[in-house]
A and B are shown apart, each in its own frame.
Chain A
Amino acid sequence: METVVSVFADTILITLVLAFAAFGLAIIYGLIGVINMGHGAMLTLGAYFTWWSTQHGVPFVPSVLLSAIAVGAVGLAFEHIIIRHFYNRPFDTLLLTWAFFLVTTEVIKIVFGTDFRNVPSPVDGAIDLEIYRVPAYKTIVGAVSISIIAGTALVFFKTALGIKIRAMIQNREVASLLGLNIAVMYKLVFAFGAFMAGLAGGLIAPMYSIDPYMGNTFLVRSFFVVIIGGVGQLLAGTLFGSFAIGGLETVLALFSDQVIAQIAVFFIAVLILRFRPQGVFTGR
């Protein structure tokens, strides 16, 4: 019983954290079709900004928000200077965003150094469920994750802005003929994706030790989350993809060590990618 409860709680938390970490990627990939290989670096950047800011006495929550805004601004600048010229060449955007990762990682190393950094957890302790103690901070991040994803989905499906974005995805040319400024929409979506990555990076910072490559752990997993959930399926797809990846990892880690569990998950993810390239969740 104890194991069941703990696996259940762990799976839910890992699913939500992973969904949050993947969300920025899901937005950029799903809405404007850019494979953002710099996503991991954006997470890392968010974590470092948060660390730097808390080191300088700013409380945790404003630190995370400021970091997210800063990463969003970096994303906006990157989009404006480079990416916007390459939207019709997907392979080149892939390479350019990878170059963004390389450059950002090196800048991080030069500015912040390569030592491991830690952000003290703003909320200590655990929620006692009698048979299992759920870590409190992870639970809060999980709750933030689900609210933000649901909130974004609400904007996406229930507001005028959401209709514009959906119109843009369905048919870029027609949407632009109807008076939609596609260039601005793309810019906004890219910056919002970067903002989300920064936010996730800042929030997960207290759970991990921070190093210049920490985002890479999430990069490939995030891709699989998006692909398995179905590209463009922001709400259900991201959650389901994270559940598949995170849940599998938790369950497999019961029977073997962590590394082998991860190898197995990637292996299974490639199998899914092959047999359901449109994603498990999409009915197409």
Chain B
Amino acid sequence: MTMQVQHGGHVAAASSRGGWMGGEDLAAMVVFGLLAAIPLVTSGYAVYILPQYMLLGLLAMSLVILWGYGGIVSFGQAAFFAIGAYAMGLVMKHAALPINSAYLGILAGVAGAALVSLLIGHFLFSAGVRSTYFVVATLALSIIVEQTVKSFSDITGGWNGLYVDRMTLTLGPLVQLSLFDDMPMYYTVLAVVVPIYVAVAALMRARFGKIVVGIRENEDRMLALGFNVPAYKTLAFGLSGLLAGLAGALYATHASFAHPSNAGVLFSTQVVIWVAIGGRHSLLGAFAGAIVVASLSNYLSSIEAIQEYWPLVQGLVFIAVIVLFRNGLAGVVESLFGKKRHGRAA
């Protein structure tokens, strides 16, 4: 019995260049437009916290590349996120260089996470490790990273976590912009997330994305067609690790903190939940899913009567999504749009 996941034609349509893509572009403009407008109409906590959620959204997108497009579930995204976060914190703490140490930190986080994910991806995929075995290996990876940062406490701060400064942008030889205030931080994060979304969406629509989807749909056929399947899987995993590392590095400087729980299994699986709820086949859906679920969690946890029950509700919603709405919020929105479109045409 093969362990391959079969997806319906409905799903294939969502990831091919159908009429929906125009819809997703439009939806992306709405989502990012809203995010850009929020600091103009409000200030305070929302402006402080939303960049964190956008970075969690970036982390969710990193999983969509693997899961939605490649059909590879990873329970290890938090490991790369934490590698990014700790690299950022450690470089900013120790580097005394003429260039901006935050830039070096981001570079170290991104490169470190990408390198580790490429190595692990190559190591496992080249031997044909797939499906559930891969999940167990990524699960172990999360635990290894979490335990490592916990036990080398003189370097990482152990259980207490690692303090990370808010970074400063160097925009030229003379122009410095501190991101200590929430407003510049907000737009900086947005200015990072939007181009990444556009680039990844374009990449997944291009040849690379089609090959990865092809591997998801029928790995043996792609092999027979002469594609180097392990290499493509490794690249997808590497790209996913790179984005997770970037999200982690920026998250650390935003939250002023890197913590072992950032690497943990529970956080890794939280990413899986966001993506399942947002829509496993949609970059934008997962991004929005992470923001919505994280905001809801935050809001509901602040209400005393509900806070105890919220994680339970989230678990039940997770079950309902898998059982009833396989394509998450994005799938629901898509089917609404599809109907409307159909109605107009008829």
Residues of A that sit less than 8 Å from B by CB: 33, 35, 82, 85, 89-92, 94-96, 98-99, 102-103, 106-107, 109-110, 172, 216, 220, 223-224, 227, 257, 259-260, 262-263, 266-267, 269-270, 273-275, 277
Residues on the A chain within 8 Å of B319, using CB: 82, 96, 99, 103
Q: Which residue of A lies closest to B124 (CB)?
A: A274
Residues on the B chain within 8 Å of A85, using CB: 323
| Distance in angstroms between the alpha carbons of A102 and B308 in the assembled complex | 13
Give the residue of B128, B131, B312 whose beta carbon is less than 8 angstroms from that of A110: B312
B132 pairs with A35, CB closer than 8 A: yes
Residues on the A chain within 8 Å of B184, using CB: none
B140 pairs with A270, CB closer than 8 A: yes
B223 at the interface (CB under 8 A from A): no
Instruction: Using A94-B73, A263-B147 as known contacts, say yes or no to A224 and B136 having CB atoms under 8 A apart.
Output: yes
**Residue of B132, B265, B269, B314 with most chain A CB atoms under a 10 A cut-off:** B132
Give the residue of B3, B150, B308, B309 whose beta carbon is less than 8 angstroms from that of A90: B3
A99 pairs with B73, CB closer than 8 A: no
Give the residue of B150, B276, B311, B315 whose beta carbon is less than 8 angstroms from that of A259: B150
Minimum-distance CB pairs A-B, first 4: A102-B315, A106-B312, A103-B315, A266-B140
B135 pairs with A257, CB closer than 8 A: no
Q: DSSP class of A's interface residues: helix, strand, loop or mixed?
A: helix
A-B contact pairs, 5 of them (CB 8 A): A89-B6, A90-B3, A106-B315, A220-B139, A220-B265
New A-B contacts (12) at CB < 8 Å, excluding given A95-B322, A102-B269, A260-B151: A35-B135, A89-B5, A89-B6, A95-B73, A96-B319, A98-B269, A99-B316, A102-B311, A227-B136, A274-B123, A277-B129, A277-B133
| Distance in angstroms between the alpha carbons of A274 and B127 in the assembled complex | 6
| Distance in angstroms between the alpha carbons of A199 and B247 in the assembled complex | 42
Q: Which residue of B lies closest to A274 (CB)?
A: B127
B346 at the interface (CB under 8 A from A): no
A273 pairs with B322, CB closer than 8 A: no
Give the residue of A82, A102, A110, A227 whose beta carbon is less than 8 angstroms from that of B133: A227
Residues on the B chain within 8 Å of A223, using CB: 136, 139
Residues of B that sit less than 8 Å from A by CB: 1, 3, 5-6, 71, 73, 123-124, 127-129, 131-133, 135-137, 139-141, 143-144, 147-148, 150-151, 265, 269, 272, 276, 308-309, 311-312, 314-316, 318-319, 322-323
Residues on the B chain within 8 Å of A259, using CB: 147, 150-151
Q: DSSP class of B's interface residues: helix, strand, loop or mixed?
A: helix
| Distance in angstroms between the alpha carbons of A262 and B145 in the assembled complex | 12
B127 pairs with A275, CB closer than 8 A: yes
B315 pairs with A99, CB closer than 8 A: yes
Q: Which residue of B lies closest to A269 (CB)?
A: B140
| Distance in angstroms between the alpha carbons of A172 and B1 in the assembled complex | 10
Shortest Cβ distance from residue A248 to the other chain B in the assembled complex, whole angstroms: 14
B143 pairs with A90, CB closer than 8 A: no
Q: Which residue of B lies closest to A110 (CB)?
A: B308
A82 pairs with B144, CB closer than 8 A: no
Residues on the B chain within 8 Å of A109, using CB: 308
Residues on the B chain within 8 Å of A275, using CB: 127
Shortest Cβ distance from residue B292 to the other chain A in the assembled complex, whole angstroms: 18
Instruction: Using A224-B136, A266-B140, A274-B124 as known contacts, say yes or no to A91 and B73 having CB atoms under 8 A apart.
Output: yes
Instruction: Using A35-B135, A91-B5 as known contacts, say yes or no to A267 and B144 having CB atoms under 8 A apart.
Output: yes
Residues on the A chain within 8 Å of B150, using CB: 259
A277 pairs with B5, CB closer than 8 A: no
A99 pairs with B127, CB closer than 8 A: no
A216 pairs with B309, CB closer than 8 A: no
B131 pairs with A90, CB closer than 8 A: yes
B143 pairs with A220, CB closer than 8 A: yes
Q: Which residue of A lies closest to B317 (CB)?
A: A99
Shortest Cβ distance from residue B70 to the other chain A in the assembled complex, whole angstroms: 12
Shortest Cβ distance from residue B150 to the other chain A in the assembled complex, whole angstroms: 7
Residues on the A chain within 8 Å of B140, using CB: 220, 224, 266, 269-270
Give the residue of A82, A103, A216, A270 whose beta carbon is less than 8 angstroms from that of B137: A270
**Residue of A85, A257, A260 with most chain B CB atoms under a 10 A cut-off:** A260
Give the residue of A90, A107, A216, A257 whose beta carbon is less than 8 angstroms from that of B132: A90
Residues on the A chain within 8 Å of B147, using CB: 259, 262-263
A216 pairs with B265, CB closer than 8 A: yes
| Distance in angstroms between the alpha carbons of A260 and B153 in the assembled complex | 13
Residues on the A chain within 8 Å of B141, using CB: 270
Residues on the A chain within 8 Å of B315, using CB: 99, 102-103, 106
Shortest Cβ distance from residue A140 to the other chain B in the assembled complex, whole angstroms: 30
Q: Which residue of A lies closest to B151 (CB)?
A: A259
Q: Which residue of A lies closest to B135 (CB)?
A: A94
A273 pairs with B136, CB closer than 8 A: yes
Residues on the B chain within 8 Å of A99, using CB: 315-316, 318-319, 322
| Distance in angstroms between the alpha carbons of A92 and B71 in the assembled complex | 12
Residues on the B chain within 8 Å of A90, using CB: 3, 5, 131-132
Residues on the B chain within 8 Å of A82, using CB: 319, 323
A107 pairs with B312, CB closer than 8 A: yes
Residues on the B chain within 8 Å of A269, using CB: 140
Residues on the A chain within 8 Å of B312, using CB: 103, 106-107, 110
A266 pairs with B308, CB closer than 8 A: no
**Residue of B314, B315, B318 with most chain A CB atoms under a 10 A cut-off:** B315
